[in-house]
Amino acid sequence: MLRDNITGINIDTTSSVNLVQNGDGIILFYDTSRNKMLSITRETMSFGLNHRNIMNHRWLQTVSKIPSNILGYKVPRNATITSITIQTENLVSYAKFNIRTNGSLTNLHTTNLVTDNKIIQDNLNYNINKGDYLQLFMSVISGNVDYPLTNIEIAWR
pLDDT of residue 17: 65
CA distance to 21, 60, 117, 145, per residue, from 87 (Å): 35, 13, 6, 10
Domain chopping of the chain, boundaries: 2-39, 42-156
- CB contact burial 55-69 (16+ within 10 A = b; e otherwise): eeebbbbbeeeebbb
pLDDT of residue 24: 83
Look at the domain 42-156 and name its fold.
Jelly Rolls (2.60.120)
Please give the average pLDDT of every successive group of 10 residues along the chain, which has 157 residues.
50 66 90 94 95 88 91 95 95 90 96 92 97 96 93 97
Q: What is the DSSP string of the chain?
A: -EE-TTT--EE-TTSS--EEE-TTS-EEEEETTTTEEEESSEEEEEEE---S-B-S-EEPB-TTS-BTTTS-EEPSS-EEEEEEEEE-SS--SEEEEEEEETT-SS-SEEEEEESSSEEEE----EEE-TT-EEEEEEEEEES-B-S-EEEEEEEE-
Contact 69, 103 (CB under 8 A): yes
Is the C-alpha dihedral spanning 121, 127, 130, 133 positive or negative? negative
Cα 148 to chain center, whole Å?
15
pLDDT of residue 26: 92
